[in-house]
């Protein structure tokens, strides 16, 4: 048995879909195409040709792809990190989405700052970059 086979035996999902039989993978230089069997498409409710999708990083170098059919998607699918290597998926309809009072107060303040132009927004950054940015802001505020 090769090392590659040993690694693939250790990786598994607990579920009821046989990926090897239900999904065909085709690769070329620029893309990867997945072809789903009709049985799998029916099982996941795929009726149309448009999907919502998100890549979710479980840990560095290990991600999963979530997909929903646009026609069946109603509301919001929230991915909540509940611990190291743990995620919770919560599907809420549009009328179920709630914001607690404290969060609503925070958002109200931030909306007002944004409208006045008093809020500086940064682009996406890594955790290390964010920590350096926060430390610089703290050092600047501490001096004034």
Domain total in the chain: 3
Three-state secondary structure of 71-129 = CCCCCEEEEEEEECCEEEEEEECHHHCCCCHHHHHHHHHHHHHHHHCCCCCCCCCCHHH
Counting beta carbons within 10 angstroms of the beta carbon of residue 77, is it exposed (0 to 12), middle (13 to 18) or buried (19 or more)?
middle
Tokens 């999963």 identify what position? 64
Domain ranges, residue 68: 51-97
Q: Do 93 and 103 sit in the same domain of this protein?
A: no
Q: Is the pTM of this model over 0.85?
A: no
For the stretch 74-85, pLDDT in tens is 677 788 888 877
Q: 79 and 117: one domain?
A: no
Torsions phi, psi for 83 (to 5 deg): 165, 180
For residues 118 and 82, state if they share a domain: no
Read off the pLDDT of residues 103-124 as tens digits, 9 standing for 90 and up.
889 989 988 998 888 877 777 8
Is there a single domain that holds both residue 114 and residue 81?
Answer: no
Residue 132 shares a structural domain with residue 106? yes
Whether 91 and 55 map to the same domain: the answer is yes
Instruction: Say if residue 58 is in the same domain as residue 72.
Output: yes
Mean pLDDT of successive 10-residue stretches along the chain, which has 144 residues: 51 75 91 90 82 82 82 74 80 70 88 86 81 80 61
Is the domain of 55 the same as that of 77?
Answer: yes
| Domain co-membership, 56 together with 93 | yes
């Amino acid at each position: 048995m090769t090392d590659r086979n040993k690694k693939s035996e250790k990786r598994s999902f607990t579920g009821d879909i046989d990926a090897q039989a239900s999904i065909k993978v085709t690769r070329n230089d620029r893309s990867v195409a997945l072809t789903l069997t009709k049985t799998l498409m029916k099982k996941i409710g795929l009726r149309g040709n448009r999907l919502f999708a998100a890549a979710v990083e479980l840990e560095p170098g290990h991600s999963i792809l979530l997909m929903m059919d646009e026609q069946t998607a109603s509301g919001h699918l929230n991915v909540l990190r509940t611990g190291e290597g743990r995620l919770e998926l919560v599907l809420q309809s549009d009328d179920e989405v709630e914001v607690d009072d404290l969060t609503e107060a925070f958002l109200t303040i931030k909306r007002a700052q944004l409208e006045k132009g008093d809020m500086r927004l940064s682009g996406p950054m890594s955790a290390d970059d964010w920590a350096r940015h926060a430390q610089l802001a703290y050092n600047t505020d501490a001096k004034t």
